[in-house]
Amino acid sequence: MDTYAGLAVAGKRVLVRSDLNVPLDGGTITDDGRIRASLPTLQALSRAGARVVVTAHLGRPKGAPDPAYSLAPVAARLSELLEKPVAFATDTVGPSAQEVVAGLGDGDVALLENVRFNAGETSKDDAERGAFADELAALADAFVSDGFGVVHRKQASVYDVAQRLPHAMGGLVSTEIDVLRRLTETPERPYVVVLGGSKVSDKLGVIDNLLDKADSLLIGGGMVFTFLAALGHEVGTSLLEADQLDTCRDYLRRAEESGVRLVLPTDIVVSPTFPSGPGPHDATVVAADQMPADQMGLDIGPESAAAFAAALAPARTVFWNGPMGVFEVPEFAAGTRAVAQALTEIDGLSVVGGGDSAAAVRQLGFAEDAFGHISTGGGASLEYLEGKQLPGIDVLS
């Protein structure tokens, strides 16, 4: 891969920051998409004769070892997918890590325990973070940044290590950045953006930035109820961010003034309570401006799903981030399924923007290669599309 062709890796210890932050149910991995996405770079380095030392995080431990967040299950799955042994260090930079790295031969792969078990990884104090980065860097001769899901974080294994070792971008990060450049700099038109998920506040910067770039903006998920309330509609017990009502009114006004088509659902699937357990669950379709005061919206309705699919049909570029409803529950999955299906039929670039959207397409049974690109980093994608600088990318240039 040309991304790290400039690094001499044969016989060298290469520290790779991967994103292996997979969902676990107990010790069982429920979606190994991020592990599979990390394979090409690890395989290429191994074939080139590098002694590959992988560092990654899982969840949000509080800067100390926590068995619930151990990467041991990930090491086992990584070994299966690579079809070769993966040595596992039971600490991040301690005696186990040092022993495991010392024992590597050319082409071997090791995984260090959860990097966030050390408080220095996420510390806001440059000196503390730097001291931990020194220990990580001592385990390697070069660094490859391939964890796109964390490049928006100024953390020791993402940012500081790159300042201490010869470094390069991994294949996954390179691909992600290329796709995001196409979305922001040279999108083929029509360009349609679909935003869902729970909160408007999570997507403020993206809406702000893409209102000037997209031709159509389709809004679903929990965030839609703040838009509906901004129009004066009853939203019942649905998720509502009252402090964002004026912001939503402003977006609606700006869209109208700039000629961007901002599409809101015309019907909503409602239920008296949020679904818990396998169901069946009460689900009723109501007009978006006729929601009962004692019900909550949990998906866009069938009329809206069809309208969203129709709006997507002519698109040449699509970016989708955030499900249309509670897709984990069959009664509230139809809107998300309709959007995913429409993306598979795009004659152009379709990008699924990481996080819950990526999990949804896999859970709903879609083949990953039916989409142009499935991002591994929802937060990093969003920050790039907001126009923010990504520390983990900036440090590589």
Binding-site residues for substrate, in ranges, read 19-21, 34, 57-60, 116, 153
DSSP letter assigned to residue 193: E
The alpha carbon dihedral of 347, 386, 358, 255 has a sign of negative
Helix (H) or strand (E) holding 217: strand 216-219
| 8 A C-beta contact, residue 366 and residue 340 | yes
Given the residues 355, 377, 378, 392, select the one marked as catalytic: 355
CA distances from 125 to 130, 155, 211 (A): 8, 10, 36
Annotated binding-site members for ATP: 203, 297, 328, 354-357
Q: In angstroms, rounded to a whole number, what is the distance separating the alpha carbons of residues 384 and 100?
A: 36
Residue 6 identity: G
Of the candidates 199, 254, 261, 362, the residue annotated as catalytic is 199
Other Cβ atoms closer than 10 A to 389: 9
Residue 199 among the catalytic residues? yes
Count CB atoms within 10 A of the CB of residue 60.
11
Measured distance CA(275)–CA(284) in Å, rounded: 13
H helix runs in 299-395, sequence order? 302-312, 334-344, 355-363, 378-385, 391-394
- Of residues 12, 13, 17, 34, which has the active-site annotation? 34
Task: Respond yes or no: is residue 34 known to be catalytic.
Answer: yes
User: H or E stretch including 297?
Assistant: strand 296-300
Q: Pick the catalytic residue: 63, 107, 372, 379?
A: 379
Q: How far is CA 279 from CA 7, 267, 273, 275, 360, in A?
A: 54, 23, 12, 7, 19
Q: How far is CA 221 from CA 160, 272, 381, in A?
A: 37, 17, 18
Residue with tokens 């997209």: 214
Output the known binding site. Answer: 19-21, 34, 57-60, 116, 153, 203, 297, 328, 354-357
CA–CA gap between residue 349 and residue 351 (Å, rounded):
6
Q: How many CB atoms are closer than 10 A to CB 47?
A: 9
Indicate which residues carry an active-site annotation: 34, 199, 355, 379
